[in-house]
Chains A and B, each alone.
Chain A
């Protein structure tokens, strides 16, 4: 086990942590999108149990950061908003996990 001084020295700077991902809702959204090829807005809303207004704001932020891709289409005369995690999103999520690991675990 490391001493508190060693741990402190080995911790990544908190400022380096990705603030876009460092929000419970956005982290959950990215985690769900990471394990599927794609899903639509309704499925994600049901999974996360966020309200549609809340979820759409988080999705917009993730899209602006380039972490997800949002596509709109018409299926059986209804609009469908399909969401996909991008390569950048996967990398950022993996990097976030790695940055967080020394903070939450005694490594």
Chain B
């Protein structure tokens, strides 16, 4: 019996229950599809699709997930991890978005400098986030996004865009399947005051 390891497993299970709704997957799918469409069509308008992901996730968590899954406040350690991840995600998202817009408006920084930095940086950041928040599917998304960034930077814009779009569609399919399964498995719970009614006997 290893107390610490058991506690960590229990804590991880408590935390990862929140990923079953597929909303994180949806946010990543929007990011990939937005990038893909932006690169393939050369339209900065598709940057809005990237922003749609986090927006849908926030609204979905509040109005769909919480009424079905319930509410939990994690331990201080987990909250510290989440704050760190939120900060990293915001910084990286802003940097990527700025770069994306600068490319579409024709102000591209030196390729030799930015290509390896961007490919390695984005992949490493996403892998780190996946490890930090125990989100296993994010390892795959990190590699797909890393490939798309690499193809875009080292091979061609078209190939990178296609990779983004294909990965996005695949991720979106996963998100939709998870979301439907989540809705079926976790119906809205009207009763959150279980002590108001008579109970069944417990053996």
Contact = CB atoms under 8 A, between A and B. Distances in A.
Contacts of A7: none
A49 to B, nearest CB: 10
Interface in A24-42: 25, 31-32, 34-42
A19 interface: no
5 contacts: A35-B10, A35-B14, A44-B70, A80-B71, A82-B71
Nearest to B68: A42
**Size category, A interface:** 35 or more
Interface residues of B, number: 30
B69 A46 contact: yes
B202 A37 contact: no
B42 interface: no
Interface of A: 25, 31-32, 34-47, 51-60, 70, 72, 75, 78-82, 97, 100-101, 104-105
Given A42-B69, A53-B199, A57-B200, A81 B3 contact: no
Contact of B194 (A34, A36, A41): A41
A41 B192 contact: yes
Nearest to B78: A36
Nearest to B11: A35
* Top 9 closest pairs, chain A to chain B, by CB: A43-B70, A42-B70, A56-B194, A35-B11, A39-B72, A53-B200, A79-B193, A40-B71, A37-B73
Contact of B1 (A53, A59, A81, A105): A105
Contacts of B6: 31
Contacts, number: 99
Nearest to B71: A40
B69 A104 contact: no
Interface of B: 1, 3, 6-7, 10-11, 13-14, 17, 67-76, 186, 189, 191-195, 199-202
Contacts of B69: 42-43, 46
B75 A37 contact: yes
A58 B74 CA distance: 22
Given A81-B192, A105-B1, 8 more contacts: A32-B10, A34-B10, A38-B72, A39-B73, A42-B70, A46-B17, A47-B14, A57-B200
B13 A81 contact: no
A60 B11 contact: no
A72 B11 CA distance: 24
A54 B73 contact: no
B195 A60 contact: yes
